[in-house]
Amino acid sequence: MKELLTKMQAQALADIDAAQTKEALYEVHVKYLGRKGELTLLMRGIKDLPKEEKPEMGKLVNEVKVALEAAFEKKGASLEREEVERSLRDSWIDVTAPGTEYKTGRVHVLNQVQREIEEIFSAMGFEIQDGPEVESEYYNFEGLNIPEHHPARDMQDTFFLKRKADPQHGRLVLRTHTSPVQVRTLEKYGAPVRMIVPGRVFRNEAIDASHEHTFNQVEGMMIDKDISIAHLKGVMETFLTRLFRRETKVRFRPGYFPFVEPGLELDMSCALCGGDGCRVCKHTGWIEFMGAGMTHPNVLRAGGVDPNVYQGWAFGFGLTRLAMMRYAISDIRLFAGGDIRFLEQF
Amino acid sequence: MYISLNWLREFVDVPHGTDAQELANTITLHTAEIEGYEDECSKFANMVVGQVKKLKPHPNADKLQLSETDIGGGKIVQQVCGGQNLKEGMKVAVALPGAIVQWHGEETVELKEAKVRGETSVGMICAGEEIGLEPDNREGQKEVHIHDLSYVDAVAGTPLADALGRNDTIFEVDNKSLTHRPDLWGHFGFARELSAIFDRPRKKIDHLFASSLKEKKKELLHIKIEDAEICPRFSTCMVSNVKIQESPQWIKSRLQAIGIRPINNIVDITNFVMVELGQPMHAYDRNIVGTDTLNVRFAKDGETLETIDHKKRTLTARDPVVTDGQKILGLAGIMGGKDSEISDATTEVIFEAANWNPIIIRKSSTHHMLRSDASQRFEKGLDPELTELAIKRALALLQETCPDAIITTPQQTIGDWKEKKIVIDLDVDMVCKKIGIEISPKEIVRILKGLEFGVSGSGKKLKVSVSPHRATGDVEIAEDLIEEVARIYGYQNIPSQLPDLPIHIPRENRTRQLENTARDIFSHDLGMFEAQTYSFYGDKEIDDALLPKELHLEMLNPLSEDQKYMRISLIPTLLRAAHHNIKYRDAFSLYEIGRTYIEDSNYFPKEETFAGGIFIDPAKKGEIFYNALGAVQEFLARFNASKFRVQEAQSVPPYAHPKKCAEVRIGKEVIGTLYEIHPQVLKNFGIEIAISAFEINLAKLIALDSNIRTFHPLPRFPGIEFDISVLVEKRTPVREIYEIIRKPDNKLLQSVKLIDIFTGPQLGSGKKSFTFRLLLQSEERTLTDEDMQQVQERVYGAITSANFEIRGR
């Protein structure tokens, strides 16, 4: 019987080795270890053996069983690996076919840029303010040191509403700039103040590829006890450098806006060429960016702030124009056109 | 406005050798924006005066000749030329190889030595239009003429720019940047600036104001200012024995160089003085004035005047006029009258140089939509001292063109004007604190004196007196002087510096944050595109959207009829955008977060921020309403407004389908509506597919903002689901059945969801079936079949006792 067992073990190991598939291996398993398997039968035969042989044979058979189970397991694992490898060998996918289409939308490009600007200024401690788009003549002009019949009113062709003038507020207008919020904020919170005002403004001018009657502006203002022109340079360079993610310089030129004195035009080094000169900056290295200046004492007074104690600056730039420059958008009318072929590009 | 460098050099030594670009840049950085410049020398580069020595016919072309031309330096070269007026001995403009010409006045070409029909041509002999001079040839003219240079006093070989006196650099100034600088509306003013910028003294110019014309005193002119506010100062003089003719070439060249067309010697003088000193003038024909009277007053309503632009104008009581005591001669400070214009027959001239009230001029010129070179200057508020200088300068110039003219009435000046003494206290520390850099008192004094301010005082406390040319409203307070110091000192010299302030957290703008959150939800979660549309629309949109006109704020001066009313809803402009996009795609949704403007009893109209959205999806036949509903539900859930309720709308917007419209309430407040667009409105907008829309009052929603979320523990035990189908009438709302299912007190019932609506012939007509899926769950134990049966029985009982049939039970 011992001999038989040894032979069977050798045969079983050979059969395991010869099995090529998991199914064949299973067959071998049944043949030896199944309910009617050869080894199983043999094990059952042990009880018929003489008493003294039982323990030894029992131990031997069990050893063979353990050895066979181990061999099955090993072979099984190896067959599984082969199977995976075979399936990998046969696999292929067309990576050039289009991906699953997901329906996604977009935030309007102006609001994307606006949010970026809000985040940068917020990080510098500026608050975000807002005011009405239908504004009074007082806040839009007089409060900003632009009396009636001042030639500066020409710079901002104004939409008026059909409404009787109010003795205190004057006529109703569509705000021509975000600057009215300067006086409104000073009235509300006083000084010191650091704020920006992104918002929609209106000018009564005919539209073409580079002119719109409706566009977005960002106003800014910083008032404290010793805020200077040098600080305006510093804050704007910091802002623009972050916005364009490249070192950006600014330069000032004299400019005229009745609500600031001194009045400044601010140019920034060209975001495209970095100031070396290119088509965008007309080979000057500079791009006209915004109007600014030291807040006029009359504006501080209109906001109830004492100009002998507080000083500071204000600025205003075109958010729409900034977006046009950043994304090389050639037609300003696209912003309000609602054409998804435009909106989905950002 | 154009400024000539040569002209500036009459008044100040602009350093020679500074290139035009650099000079333009310097003026831009210190004074006013130079928009561009033209360097005449470079325009006439490689062009010389030539003299035709010998002419012979071209052997191969009938209409061409060969000219042997002296181009100076002993050189004779040959050109092929088609000019019919070419003669031997004639002086001509020769463009040599390298010159840039406008070929036949059109195409820009750089010349090279070439052969024309087999004959060498060294450059070309030019017609005026080919080199930017007055044209010699007009369209359709048969013979070709070249430019006859006989009028120049220059020998062959002289560079053309020198021969023509066109060696100037012309700067174009951005007028807007001169709004506050009336003193800069002439060359003299710019010369003052350059003197300060370059720190060079101005030249002596007394001789420019001296004339030795004969005087033969006659009677005085009768000048009267009836309405004193119109005219603070009025200067005149009268001359006779004037001959109207062309101005001398140098005057014409000066004017042409800065874009002013020469007319005749008298008109040219008035223009010359204007662009030199900045003081506009007027010249009247004395014979037409007749009465020797000049009277300044407001017009009477209904009076008329034909101005020299040939327009008949009806005047109002706010228009300032000059009359001769009887008839109106001109619109004061704006434009002269056609009738008193200088003509060839004029022999006696009255010169006027007046200072007009800027506001009156501005109102009148705005009213008549008439902006002239004069009104543009007067409305800025000119220095009244200029009037007398202008008359003097005019007489000096008259001497050049009419040496025999006789002054019959010497200068007379009237008016209320008195020199305003402005003295400003200037604290050097304040100057430095505002600019943000230390500038020494000495430097500040130097700059201010350079700009012709008077400076006294010592140490850091200065007293600055403002000279009349800057006392026109521009310089009144210390800040104005700080600007003067800063710009001449140079903004480029101010360092870039960040403020040294304590940490501070800005006031929160919750509305803006929530608007941005809303955008994220609509665009990124719901796949909608954000549009921005105009804040106004026209009668057509109001009619098309069936809106009432009353609530609309109307514009007084709209750009066009279709932009007349402030929007009271975002939907009309969104529909217009939808109509546009339908051409390009089948299914899409757009939204806008923007304001509406509603007429209100208060002075300020009611401005509210709304989110409006529209949905188009051809696959959703008849069910597009649910796109809007799903979006609103998802939005409100994400926006954390959990306790909202959708119900049939109590008030339906006019552009909404009256039967397919719901409102969303939070508590008692209606915060939004959603609906299909009214089929008539769709037709009116030219849209052939159903659209659903929502409008959410973001302002109200934001006011209800709670921002509190509570965590619900995850279930510890598995739940059991079962479905119930209920047969109902076609118009039974889901909520009715939903509430019946919910009615019995079932602690285990976690959720009830509608998973299917089915209609089919087997149900019978007018019927449909809802299938709900119910989830049972306990927080304490695993549920048994018995639990489920108990709940089922209670739910079945509730449904049947409400007289609904349960299907497939």
Q: What is the pLDDT of residues B433-445, one digit of tens each?
A: 999 999 999 999 9
Judge: B479–A294 Cβ closer than 8 Å, yes or no: yes
- The answer on pLDDT for B563 being more than 90 is yes
Partner A, chain B 469-528, Cβ-Cβ below 8 Å: 477, 479-480, 482-483, 486-487, 491-492, 494-499, 501, 503-509, 511-512, 516, 519-520, 522-524, 526-528
Instruction: Provide mean pLDDT across the span B149-157.
Output: 88
Question: Could you give the angle at the alpha carbon of B685 between the alpha carbons of B679 and B687, nearest 5°?
Answer: 65
Judge: B497–A108 Cβ closer than 8 Å, yes or no: no
Q: To the nearest whole percent, how much of chain B has pLDDT over 70?
A: 99
The domain defined by B720-807 carries CATH number 3.30.70.380: yes
Candidate from A86-90, A179-183, A297-301, B683-687 with smallest mean pLDDT? A86-90
Q: What is the pLDDT of residue B439?
A: 96
* Dist CA B228 CA B746 (whole Å): 93
Beta-ladder partners of B295: B224, B323
Instruction: Provide mean pLDDT across the span B581-601.
Output: 94
* Dist CA A94 CA B14 (whole Å): 73
Residue A75, CA atoms < 13 Å, CB-side half-sphere: 23
Q: What pLDDT digit, counting tens, does each position of A215-274 carry?
A: 999 999 999 999 999 999 999 999 999 999 999 999 999 999 999 999 999 999 988 888
Q: Residue type at B331?
A: L
Directed axis angle between helix B187-198 and helix B20-30, to 10°?
90
When comparing pLDDT for B73 and B138, which is higher?
B73
Q: What is the pLDDT of residue B641?
A: 66
Q: How far is A113 from chain B (nearest CA, A)?
A: 12
The residues, ordered by sequence, that sit 6+ positions from B106 with a Cβ below 8 Å of its Cβ are: none
Q: What is the DSSP string of A146-207?
A: --TT-GGGGGS---BBSSPPBTTTBSEEE-SSSTHHHHHHHHHH-SSEEEEEEEEEE-----
Residue with tokens 């994307």: A112
- The answer on pLDDT for B712 being more than 90 is no
> What mean pLDDT value characterizes chain A?
93
**B2-41+168-204 and B422-489 share one fold:** yes
Q: How far apart are the first and last CA of chain B?
A: 92
User: 3-class DSSP state for residue A336?
Assistant: helix
Q: What is the pLDDT of residue B14?
A: 87
pTM for the whole structure: 0.85
The residues, ordered by sequence, that sit 6+ positions from A168 with a Cβ below 8 Å of its Cβ are: A138
- The answer on pLDDT for B795 being more than 70 is yes
Query: What kind of fold does domain B510-703 have according to CATH?
Result: BirA Bifunctional Protein; domain 2 (3.30.930)
Q: Which CATH number fits domain A109-343: 3.30.930.10, 3.40.50.10490, 2.60.40.420, 3.40.1260.20?
A: 3.30.930.10
Candidate from B63-72, B87-96, B162-171, B320-329 with smallest mean pLDDT? B162-171
ipTM: 0.87
B482, B535, B584 ranked by CB distance to A340: nearest: B584
* Dist CA B531 CA A108 (whole Å): 6
The domain defined by B2-41+168-204 carries CATH number 3.30.70.260: no
Q: What pLDDT digit, counting tens, does each position of B202-240 carry?
A: 999 899 999 889 998 777 889 999 999 999 999 999 999
Q: What pLDDT digit, counting tens, does each position of B436-488 carry?
A: 999 999 999 999 999 999 999 888 999 999 999 999 989 999 999 999 999 99
Residue whose C-alpha is closest to residue B424's, from B471, B451, B467, B462: B462
Judge: A130–B576 Cβ closer than 8 Å, yes or no: no
Strand duo B720-729 + B320-323: pairing? unpaired
- CATH assignment of B422-489? 3.30.56.10
pLDDT band at B706 (very low <50, low <70, confident <90, very high): low
> CATH second-level architecture of B45-163?
Beta Barrel (2.40)
Q: What is the pLDDT of residue B649?
A: 94
Q: What is the pLDDT of residue B102?
A: 87
The residues, ordered by sequence, that sit 6+ positions from A198 with a Cβ below 8 Å of its Cβ are: A114, A117, A118, A128, A178, A216, A217, A218, A219, A319
pLDDT band at B707 (very low <50, low <70, confident <90, very high): low
Q: What is the pLDDT of residue B62?
A: 87
CB B239 within 8 A of CB B351: yes
Q: What pLDDT digit, counting tens, does each position of A59-85 carry?
A: 888 888 999 999 999 999 999 999 899
Q: How far is A97 from chain B (nearest CA, A)?
A: 22
Instruction: Provide mean pLDDT across the span B523-529.
Output: 95
Domain edges within chain B = 2-41+168-204, 45-163, 207-414, 422-489, 510-703, 720-807
> What mean pLDDT value characterizes chain B?
92
Q: What pLDDT digit, counting tens, does each position of A1-13 carry?
A: 788 888 888 999 9
What are the Cα distances from residue B335, in Å, to B280, B329, B339, B645?
11, 10, 12, 69
Residue whose C-alpha is closest to residue A2's, from A57, A63, A65: A57
Q: What pLDDT digit, counting tens, does each position of A131-150 carry?
A: 999 999 999 999 999 988 78
User: 3-class DSSP state for residue B387?
Assistant: helix
Determine how many CB atoms are found less than 10 A away from the CB of residue A30: 13
Q: Residue type at A4?
A: L
Determine how many CB atoms are found less than 10 A away from the CB of residue B294: 25
Helices (H), B341-421: 358-367, 373-378, 386-401
- CATH assignment of B207-414? 3.50.40.10
Q: What pLDDT digit, counting tens, does each position of B605-644 carry?
A: 999 999 999 999 999 888 999 999 999 999 998 876 668 8
What residue in B sits closest to A233 (Cα-Cα)? B496
Partner B, chain A 234-293, Cβ-Cβ below 8 Å: 234-235, 237-238, 249-256, 258, 261-265
Handedness of CA B266, B267, B268, B270 (dihedral sign): positive
Contacts of A206 in chain B (CB under 8 A): 559
Q: To the nearest whole percent, how much of chain A has pLDDT over 90?
A: 74
Instruction: Provide mean pLDDT across the span B776-805.
Output: 92
Partner B, chain A 100-159, Cβ-Cβ below 8 Å: 102-108, 110-111, 115, 118, 122, 125-130, 132-134, 136, 149, 151-152, 154-155, 159
The residues, ordered by sequence, that sit 6+ positions from B325 with a Cβ below 8 Å of its Cβ are: B222, B291, B293, B295
Q: What pLDDT digit, counting tens, does each position of B723-756 carry?
A: 999 999 999 999 999 999 988 878 899 999 999 9
Q: What is the pLDDT of residue B458?
A: 83
Q: How far is A52 from chain B (nearest CA, A)?
A: 56
Listed in order, strand segments (DSSP E) in chain A are: 127-128, 134-136, 172-174, 193-202, 214-224, 250-254, 260-269, 286-295, 311-318
